[in-house]
Amino acid sequence: MLRLLAVVLILPIGAAPETVKVGQKAPEFTLKTFDGKEVSLKQLLSEEKTKAVAVVFWAFKCPAIKASDPVTIRIHEEFKDKGVVFLGIDSDQAETKDSEAVLKHVAEHGTYPVLCDTGNVVADQFGAITTPHVFLIEKGGQVVYRGGPYAKIKDDPPALKAAIVELLAGKEITLKETKPFG
């Protein structure tokens, strides 16, 4: 009696994207808002008034976003007139097909502009795999903070805010990385 033994080898088709690290140059991107306006990271950073850009990988139906968005919006409100631009990037496949729902959410919650990342192209370039996943980018394009908006729930000040304050003051950022938690 002949027995046949089959061995199945499973190899990953593509490895998970590596996250852009603090100290590295942020990937350049141009995306559109859900109402069709084109936004370019390179263009934003070249504007004289821009001191930094906070890129927040975002999905409005995500429970972690629902919990953290009020904090992120407060930080945005505090620093938007001080040269810090906030951009949400939505890579959620269902949401990127429903621009009306995203625009309604943004209008109701007074958030920052949200860009549509159909196909996860920019999320993959940054290595963002959770929401929220924040990358703070200084004027020269270098990532100076990455992680969640806060290191622990109820941080005071939230880690992202502390990083922005230190960056704007020309100081070394104390906490450069936190764990994204979505």
Compute φ and ψ for 126, nearest 5 degrees.
Answer: -85, -20
Say if CB 76 and CB 86 are below 8 A apart.
Answer: yes
Check residue 13 and give its pLDDT: 41
Compute φ and ψ for 50, nearest 5 degrees.
Answer: -80, 125
Q: Hey, which residues does 175 pair with through a beta bridge?
A: none
Say if CB 168 and CB 51 are below 8 A apart.
Answer: yes
**Quick one: DSSP state of residue 84?**
E
Percent of the chain whose pLDDT exceeds 90? 58
Q: What is the mean pLDDT of residues 69-84?
A: 94
Q: Given pLDDT bands bounded at 50, 70 and 90, which one contains residue 9? A: very low
Selection from 141, 176, 171, 172 nearest residue 160 by Cα: 176
pLDDT at 7 over 70: no
Q: Given pLDDT bands bounded at 50, 70 and 90, which one contains residue 3? A: very low
Identify the helix (H) or strand (E) that includes residue 147: strand 143-147
User: Based on C-alpha coordinates, what's the Rg of the chain?
Assistant: 18
Coil vs helix vs strand at 134:
strand
Q: What is the pTM of this model?
A: 0.87
Q: What is the mean pLDDT of residues 71-98?
A: 90
Check residue 12 and give its pLDDT: 41
Q: Specify the CATH superfamily of domain 30-168.
A: Glutaredoxin (3.40.30.10)
Domain boundaries, the chain: 30-168
Q: What is the pLDDT of residues 96-148, one digit of tens each?
A: 777 888 888 888 877 799 999 988 999 999 999 889 999 999 999 999 999 98
Say if CB 132 and CB 64 are below 8 A apart.
Answer: yes
Compute φ and ψ for 121, nearest 5 degrees.
Answer: -60, -50
Check residue 1 and give its pLDDT: 43
pLDDT at 4 over 70: no
Coil vs helix vs strand at 153:
coil
Q: What is the pLDDT of residues 138-180, one digit of tens each?
A: 999 999 999 989 877 667 789 999 999 999 999 999 999 998 8
Selection from 122, 113, 127 nearest residue 53 by Cα: 113
As to burial, measured by CB atoms within 10 angstroms (0-12 exposed, 13-18 middle, 19+ buried), residue 139 is: middle
Say if CB 175 and CB 159 are below 8 A apart.
Answer: yes
